[in-house]
Structure 1
């Protein structure tokens, strides 16, 4: 009987254990002398083991999976639009004093609505990612403007100031580092578009579902956020 009680007690203790994300202002530095807290919509979900640092705006129903790093401590600010998902291991960072402009405001990283950034991808500012873009597994987007509906396949690189027109397809492993290469990209194939839509459908359910599972008090390690 005693052994059973210990086992039940152990299971009970584990059921109340919850690892939190790390949510923090940026540190004060010579290039960013003001500490700014992230602004995270209450409907967004930031998973355990992820970090959100600095001047980051996260809008409605965004899903941030485990082990994501959103670090606006150098290049800043970041914007992440409604219904976007950042999957496991995604990294967002930016170079100081390098920005793109959206509606007259400067951003290190601007990510639109219904964007999927897949496992292990790196998005490094300055960059703009339009609505309904898919950024594939282990791909890199740095110093680029990516138009609406673009599909970037796995292990691809998009960089060097290129602008990709809407609804273009970046093939697996491609290195799009010149405007000539960007202009030669073909339209997104039907199967890739359908895949991106399916990924969106799945990930848009996660924020509300995880809030129900783990509770809505998504405080950081001792740091409150709005």
Structure 2
């Protein structure tokens, strides 16, 4: 395909998204089209959205890692504790609805087990019931955490080629804090008009224009 065809594909996919139609394949193909055009910030955003809908999508995961190799900035962060790293991996491994289904299944199994014990007067063993209930409650905790992430919508991907971060929601040469480039994932702390305050993984904070990123 020539660049003009990829531009048409991007326009078509974006139009579909604007109509409120969302699907992992739609985001995946949008990411591929942006990638071919060299718009790595937009392609990373699209792959991230595809992974939100299906964290097990191996193609989207591979293409996301490939797109990330084109990100200019390398942000170094302190080593994360193993348990925290494992929890984040676990939380991102399934979608909200998948966690909901599995946790509901554990609670259902606990209820059925307890009912069978009482109806058939079988010798009661606490261990299976405790395992079912404990697993269900743990997964419900993860559910709440994922719901918080979704409802807050507090992350975004830089899509402008180069972005200057300022110490406040204004443009002044003496207020420049740092510069970043497309593809970087940022946390959004506050918003004011068409400005947002962002945080980087290394702790840096600054204000940028809202139209320089896309919300996840």
TM (norm. structure 1) is: 0.24
The structure richer in strand per residue is 1
> TM-score if structure 2 supplies the norm length?
0.24
Which protein, 1 or 2, shows the higher relative CO under an 8 Å CA cutoff with sep ≥ 6?
2
